[in-house]
Chain A
Amino acid sequence: MTDITAGHSERSRWEAFLHALRFLLAVLRARPLFALGYVIVLLVIVLAIFAPLIAPYEPEVANPTDFLQGPSWRHLFGTDATGMDIFSRIVYAPRIDLTIAIAGTMISAVVGSFIGAVVGYYQEGGGFGSFGAGFVMRAADVLQAFPVFVFAIALVAIFGQSLESIIAAIAFVNAPIYLRLMRSQVLAIRNMRYVEASYVSGASDLMIMLRHIIPNSMAPILAQLSVNIGWSILLTAALSFVGAGVVAPTPEWGSMIAMGFQNIITGQWWPSVFPGIALAVTVFGFALVGASVEVLADPARRRALAGTLRERKKAA
């Protein structure tokens, strides 16, 4: 992480920002794959925001006179069994898919990391705290022993089929990942000298956690986050595919693939194929961003990368 401490002036802060930006651009130039990732993610976000301006048709209005038309200039990606324009639906879909995936992942990250931090902090203290921490970890074991997908469907079945339940299900199945991640970070950081020092100086547990531990363990969480968003999009689509996801005819990639499933066997491939491609590309984009964050957030790897960049510059 770049050190930006309170003593720096506005000017140097601006410089630091520029420096970081330059570095990022250099990285992206050197690693076009990372650049591709950011482009995809940005594009998907732009689609989600400006969908009404981009989509040529309403995403949820059936037009039965035009059903199951193949791709043409009028309907770029063809139409589905109710005559809805597949291109327009694909453009609208990230609104749902991203909302679910980002909200679900964020909730799991916040809740999971918080519990993980607490558990990690108290684990080695002995007494009640460490008993509680052990209990939480065993509970997480049990949760993780569940087959993820069955667990997620069960949650949606319990809470009823709605956006909120899908988000809750995704948050639930992801939370243990962050719990573990945060806990191991905290365990490592907690025993460092400076944390011990502030403990001795009488800072409260909460202060120590907020001031030292959480900020210092953010890097791996951030890297995980992006990869996890991609994965959550896949899970959302999978839930819709088995009928436990969004309500029809909400434009959502997984549910579009499922609705087109029947048509594929009778030869109309487009209702399923295009949403699948959109889904794969999006997840790919988030995976790339995740990979880049992983590199950039890890001081050692960032230094290595900076080294390579310098070498290249020299060579050029």
Chain B
Amino acid sequence: MTNSTGNRWSLDRRTFLKGTTAAAAAAAVPGAIAGRGALAQDRASTLAIAAPATPQSLDSEYDVSLGTFETVAACYDSLVEFEKIVDPGDPDALREDIKDYPNNPGRVNMKGKLAESWEVDPDSQWVRFKLREGVKSNWGNELTAEDVVWTWHRKLELGAIGGFFANTISLKRKEQIKAEGSHVVSFNLDHPNPLLLKLQPNLYNPIYDSTQCKAAGGTDDPWAKEFLKNETAGFGPYRIEQLTRGAQAVYKARDDYYGGKPAMDTVILREVPTSANRAQLLQGGAVDIAQYLQPLELVQLANAPGVSVDTIPATFMLWIELNAKIPPFDSIDVRRAMNFAFPQEQVISTVFQNLASPLTGCMPDIYPGFNAAYWEYGTQDLDHARELLKGAGYGDGFETTLGYNAADATQETTAILFQSALREIGVNLQLKKIPAATFYNNVSERKQPMIFYYDSPWCPDPGYSMNLYFHSKSFINYSNYVNLRVDELIDGAAQTGDMDARLAAMDEVQQIVMREAPWVFGVFTNYSMARRSDVRGWTYYTSNNIRFQDFSREA
């Protein structure tokens, strides 16, 4: 599963559909605690965030919206997490250490969170966690192995997003997750799966307080579906205090958090759907962090007094799906021609203000196993594109449609630049603006010949990424790309613990995919954090969200 599929989907949906209603609605909400005035005395320990949307459902089994993950990351803890390092390009920012460590167990550099230690099978067929003792949930219940078992049984039982994750780590039956004592739990697979440990820190896999969930759900709702929509029951550093959808969410730090109370006592997430408005609020000092700003706004804010903008390479990828089931994109040459015609440099400098870099591959370049060598589309080459079209029998060009998300200004501008470039090679591109709310449906229906997609795979692993986008049976393979060799390589890699063999196989997949070009390879967009300069501690996660517990205010 990907985060920003849904993440973005929902962000856009809400951004657009609410238009700009929310700020006003917020103002009319009873007891709204807001911004500076009310909080001046606690300013040092209060974090105000202008976000494009407040959480919809808080249950990550069903909801993939932006605010949901901010909430999950603050209110729940996972068993383990990646170690953090200082970003090589930005001394003010931390990031996860997701490199391949051939000598570490599971080849990852992780540290315990709810688990204080763990053992992992060298073949990655089982893993055993020893849980920390005395950890309390926000409802006061103590963490036991039973909570971990319940959490994964819930995924198997409900079979939505969690079901996907269970399947991804080859977990099929309930008895494969065993409580081996009050604080020991193990996962036992039928065959090796390299992602068994790597997927544990994924934001979709937090541990629930099963005691509270069972009590709240009762017999009618044994998996607490209703309860978890509006409440949190986890072992993380925050609890949700107030949630007014479309207006704001308020989080309070927990005094009894096992890792120590976080620096920011209160976090207010205000919904401000228009990016220009979020930028204004940050500039004026009304909020500490403004999320998801347009490139031009970031450039402008970088020069504003009291504001800092950190921008670092991230896992966000923007590309155009070329639907292999709709002619002429069933032809590899036509797809390659589209890539050679794409005005990438111009898009990066004009649309993204250089806060992006060429999409030199088909997965994030910061993930292990990435290989940029197969990228041929570095410079726009219209002559070559014309030749390819002629060879494919489209010497006179053709007409097609490109769908883009109405809520994303960068997509519209990119589309217009591409349209102009394609006209040069005789391709008449019609643009189709799709309302944000229905955009994702349009992508997943796979009926558009060309459609933008903005996403990042949430697990720093090549097999995971390739499987998502290019396996013919993957739900996320939105370009209808089918290559049996690719399927075979991916299937093989998913069932082996031999990391070197996997990396080799995934390298071959990248080579094939880059040549056959099921996408127009667009850009990696940076993750940009626009914050007041006195807010410190920002950490970049591959999940592209922020975690409140990282922040503190410089005195």
Residue ranges of A at the interface with B (Cβ–Cβ < 8 Å): 60-65, 67, 81-84, 161, 243, 247-249, 259, 262-263, 265-267
Chain A positions within 8 Å of B412 at CB level: 248, 259
Residue ranges of B at the interface with A (Cβ–Cβ < 8 Å): 275-276, 279-280, 294, 296-297, 300, 343, 346-347, 349-351, 406, 409, 412-413, 415-417, 419-420, 423, 430-433, 435
With contacts defined as CB atoms under 8 Å apart, how many contacts are there between chain A and chain B in the complex? 63
A247, B279: Cα distance in complex, Å: 28
Q: Which of A243, A249, A267 is within 8 Å of B416, CB to CB?
A: A249
- State whether A61 and B350 are in contact (beta carbons under 8 Å apart), knowing that A266-B296, A266-B300 are contacts in the complex: no
Contact yes or no, B430 A247, CB < 8 A: yes
A263, B349: Cα distance in complex, Å: 17
- State whether A81 and B431 are in contact (beta carbons under 8 Å apart), knowing that A67-B350, A249-B419, A266-B300 are contacts in the complex: no
A259, B415: Cα distance in complex, Å: 14
- Whole-angstrom distance from the CB of B15 to the nearest CB of chain A? 13
- Whole-angstrom distance from the CB of B473 to the nearest CB of chain A? 32
Contact yes or no, B432 A262, CB < 8 A: no
Chain B positions within 8 Å of A61 at CB level: 420, 423
Contact yes or no, B431 A248, CB < 8 A: yes
Q: Which of A64, A248, A263, A267 is within 8 Å of B433, CB to CB?
A: A248
- Whole-angstrom distance from the CB of A85 to the nearest CB of chain B? 13
- State whether A243 and B435 are in contact (beta carbons under 8 Å apart), knowing that A248-B412, A262-B409 are contacts in the complex: yes
Chain A positions within 8 Å of B431 at CB level: 247-249
- Whole-angstrom distance from the CB of A267 to the nearest CB of chain B? 8
Chain B positions within 8 Å of A82 at CB level: 350, 413, 416-417, 420
Known: A60-B419, A82-B417, A84-B416. 7 other contacts (CB 8 A): A60-B420, A82-B413, A243-B435, A247-B431, A248-B416, A262-B409, A265-B279
Chain B positions within 8 Å of A249 at CB level: 416, 419, 431
Closest B residue, CB atoms, query A84: B416
Contact yes or no, B350 A83, CB < 8 A: yes
- Whole-angstrom distance from the CB of B425 to the nearest CB of chain A? 14
Closest B residue, CB atoms, query A62: B420
Closest B residue, CB atoms, query A255: B433
Contact yes or no, A64 B419, CB < 8 A: no
Chain B positions within 8 Å of A265 at CB level: 276, 279-280
A121, B417: Cα distance in complex, Å: 57
A82, B296: Cα distance in complex, Å: 13
Q: Which of A64, A243, A266 is within 8 Å of B417, CB to CB?
A: A64
Closest B residue, CB atoms, query A63: B420
A161, B416: Cα distance in complex, Å: 18
A62, A63, A161: residue with the most chain B Cβ atoms closer than 10 Å? A62
A83, B343: Cα distance in complex, Å: 14
Chain A positions within 8 Å of B343 at CB level: 64
A50, B432: Cα distance in complex, Å: 28
A267, B279: Cα distance in complex, Å: 13
Chain A positions within 8 Å of B346 at CB level: 64-65
Contact yes or no, A243 B433, CB < 8 A: yes
Chain B positions within 8 Å of A266 at CB level: 276, 296-297, 300
Contact yes or no, A262 B350, CB < 8 A: no
Q: Which of A60, A65, A81, A161 is within 8 Å of B413, CB to CB?
A: A81
Chain A positions within 8 Å of B296 at CB level: 81, 262-263, 266
Closest B residue, CB atoms, query A82: B416
- State whether A64 and B276 are in contact (beta carbons under 8 Å apart), knowing that A243-B433, A247-B432, A248-B416 are contacts in the complex: no
- State whether A64 and B350 are in contact (beta carbons under 8 Å apart), knowing that A243-B433, A249-B419, A249-B431 are contacts in the complex: yes
- State whether A262 and B294 are in contact (beta carbons under 8 Å apart), knowing that A62-B417, A82-B416 are contacts in the complex: yes
Closest B residue, CB atoms, query A267: B300
Chain A positions within 8 Å of B349 at CB level: 64
A266, B296: Cα distance in complex, Å: 8
A84, B412: Cα distance in complex, Å: 14
Chain A positions within 8 Å of B351 at CB level: 64, 81
Chain A positions within 8 Å of B432 at CB level: 161, 247
A63, B102: Cα distance in complex, Å: 49
Chain B positions within 8 Å of A248 at CB level: 412, 415-416, 431, 433
Contact yes or no, B419 A62, CB < 8 A: yes
A243, B431: Cα distance in complex, Å: 13
Q: Sort A-B residue pairs by CB-CB distance and give the 4 closest, nearest first.
A: A64-B346, A64-B350, A265-B276, A62-B420
